Copies of this chain bind each other. A is one copy, B any other.
Amino acid sequence: MDISNILDQIHLLPEQSKLELQNNISEIAFPKGHILLKANKIEFNIYFIKKGLVRAFIERDNEVTFWFGKEGETVISMKSYVEDQPGYENIELLEDCELYELKTENLRKLFHEDVHIANWGRKFAEKELIKTEERLISRQFKNASERYLELMKDHPEIIKRVQLGHIASYLGITQVSLSRIRAELK
């Protein structure tokens, strides 16, 4: 997905502001397995996914995946972006990826210079918030097999492209449990 579409999809911008923003964005590619963002480290860039698939995970005793990002989505350490604090997430590329890179510092400057870009940034956070809120509620309402069915319905491509262990951990259950759920659905 092309950068112009990605930016528009977040919030429409006047041509001039959009060019301003695009002037600060460059392209970069990494292979499958690359760790794009590291936990406990302040990150200075955000990325938009042109092509490929990534996951965010936290390391404790075990790894817990809590987000998948695909074409058109934004890869960001919210803690770094919002609070200048080290974030808790690692971002691993699950496929070879083509990315658009934007320095947080430059984006911040634009936020204060251009009201349209400030509102674009506001919309970005608001939309991410809605998605996160919906996941939290799904978590509170639904049991594991309902959450799996929901994922199949809303993001079938994730299930095709990602290995089961990551999906299980995203759903908040063990891989064995997910395997059992899949067996019951047959």
Binding site for B on A (CB under 8 A): 58, 60, 64, 66, 78-79, 81-83, 88, 111-115, 118-119, 121-123, 125-130, 132-133, 135-137, 139-141, 169, 172
Q: A113, A118, A128: which has the most chain B beta carbons within 10 Å?
A: A118
Do the beta carbons of A172 and B133 come within 8 Å of each other? no
* Cα(A113)–Cα(B141), bound, Å: 40
In-complex Cβ contact of A127 among B82, B114, B130 (8 A): B82
Do the beta carbons of A64 and B139 come within 8 Å of each other? no
Instruction: Name which residue of chain B comes closest to A129, CB basis.
Output: B129
- Distance (whole angstroms) from the CB of A132 to the closest CB of chain B: 5
Do the beta carbons of B129 and A122 come within 8 Å of each other? no
Check A136/B66 contact, CB under 8 A, given A60-B141, A111-B119: yes
Do the beta carbons of B82 and A137 come within 8 Å of each other? no
Check A137/B58 contact, CB under 8 A, given A112-B119, A122-B125: yes
Q: Which residues of B contact A66 (CB under 8 A)?
A: 136-137, 140
Do the beta carbons of A88 and B130 come within 8 Å of each other? no
In-complex Cβ contact of A125 among B129, B135, B172 (8 A): B129
Do the beta carbons of B129 and A82 come within 8 Å of each other? yes
Do the beta carbons of A133 and B132 come within 8 Å of each other? yes
Do the beta carbons of A114 and B115 come within 8 Å of each other? yes
